[in-house]
Structure 1
């Protein structure tokens, strides 16, 4: 499986890694960023976290050459402070959070994150949790579904309402293929973007409470950074980046941090040619005072 950690060079540059430092990668994925950080360490350590147990197991295989410098833990954003303290760590020298969905999740048919082929309506990053996409889709009212597609999927109001109405009428929705077909029946395809893309995004974010988890991480991370510690966040959706921008701006205004990225940093043309999934990525970084 090809794995391209997004904006790897830029992330490492802004983290300004010290060989003896302690770093936290809050979204381990397949271990691309984690391994790259660990390989720059001598006596230092990377605390690599992810909600997805399958991702963590694959990451361990991809980081076999530097496992002695990595501590893996299954953990959500909202458990950041608690997880670090359980390991015996109060402060770290750098935090990296890549807010994208991992390639493994998107390309694994049984996970239900994509409409490219019929699969169970799952979409759970942590498969121990009970709520699945099927639960959200088949139990939520028409009005609430439309609001979900607008607020999390950034879908326009009238298409969102038409989609919600069609889905409620077609219940029970049994798999990702049926879901995509119902959406396309009321919002015909125009252009490159599949009409179900925003619906799948909204459902994934709702199932995993991504807005709540991001809010918790943005609240906890500053308190986990040592003075001079660096914080790098890579976002792929404007609604996420707006939150990151606001928190960074507020920390700067409070003189608690120095913003390192006056404007968002975007991937190079060379990277987007190699990995089209990186096209929408934006990076922000700061240093705690």
Structure 2
């Protein structure tokens, strides 16, 4: 790997739990693998280091910036610009019936958080956007304008677990209807009576809720778990890194029971029916050294399952 490529990749995004996740993922150097969240390519580059000349890696990312920022020139690698919810469709297109491992790092990339024009962080002034694919879909401002007040309040409660979510929804709708909700600054001003700027934790929850809704992250995750499980070959690994309970809970349930609700199904003899087997009882957490080096890793949880 060229040092210039590493520098560019780390500038775009510092991969979390990289060694642990790739170690768990690659069990067959000649196999076919999928990095569902290519980002800056940090995980993908590490995977390629472990593959033989016969192995192959597909890297998926919905963000057009990802491929442009971190190109990988390797015949064993194919970049696919798509949301990972369309995984099965594109594997069918490439004639891939089974894969040996699937990796998904569900966190936002450093690039997204640090780009003022993307609107993912309340640290910067910029447009109220929050789209992971900046070339399509509704912005956060458009989403708020399109929802009824009751719907918006429910969204903030479910995805942000915010106190006063319905009061916040009232303030956001009022600002939107008055044409004062197109930037981050206007959003902060609108919610200030309930969520002052000093309340960083509540603001983070608010931004999380809007981002999840704008990008339909939970719906996409559920689709990935279902389709990815079907695509895995027996013995294949499913490796997922989550950052909050709304992501971690369905992953934990699916790995244990085969469905995101966590309902245990049994056969006629009472034995559990599940297509996957978790490889650890508790998630793997980043080390203190990694968190010190990359504070954005502090909430990460790594879960690993194998296809039965």
Q: How far did 1:263 drift?
A: 0.8
Candidates 22, 25, 29, aligned match of 2:39: 29
Q: Spell out the pairing of 1:1-150 with structure 2 (5 A cutoff).
A: 1=11, 3-42=13-52, 43-60=54-71, 63-64=72-73, 67-150=74-157
Structure 1: runs of 5+ lacking an equivalent: none
Structure 1 window deviating more from structure 2 (207-216 vs 167-176): it is: 167-176
Q: Deviations over 1:109-159 (max 9, x none)?
A: 111111111111111112332311111122322211111111011212xx2
- Aligned with residue 164 of structure 1, among 169, 178, 181: 169
Query: What secondary structure is seen at the aligned counterpart in 1 of 2:193?
Result: helix
Per-residue CA distance 1:46-65 (angstroms, 9 max, x = gap): 100011111122231xx34x
Deviation at 1:17, TM superposition (A): 3.6
The correspondence for 2:190, drawn from 141, 157, 182, is 182
Distance 2:146 2:63 in 1: 25
Q: Which piece of structure 1 moves more, 139-148 or 42-51?
A: 139-148
Contact 2:256 2:277 in 1 (8 A): no
2:293 maps to which residue? 274
Alpha-carbon distance between aligned partners in 1 of 2:132 and 2:196, rounded to the nearest angstrom: 30
Q: Is the 8 A contact 1:183 1:196 kept in 2?
A: no
Q: Displacement, 1:11?
A: 0.2
Task: Give matches, 1:114-263, under 5 Å.
Answer: 114-156=121-163, 159-171=164-176, 172=179, 173-188=181-196, 193-251=200-258, 253-263=272-282
Give CA deviations for 1:186-215 in whole Å, capped at 9, x if unaligned: 223566x34321111111111111111111
- TM-score between both structures, scaled by the size of structure 2: 0.87
| TM-score normalised per structure 1 | 0.92
Q: Tell me the number of residue pairs that the alignment of Structure 1 and Structure 2 aligns.
A: 282
Q: Is this contact kept in 2: 1:28–1:59, CA < 8 A?
A: no
Aligned structure 1 segments of 4 or more residues deviating by more than 6 angstroms: none
Shift of 1:12: 1.4
Distance in structure 2 (CA, Å) of the matches to 1:3 and 1:140: 33
Range 75-84 or range 182-191, more displaced? 182-191
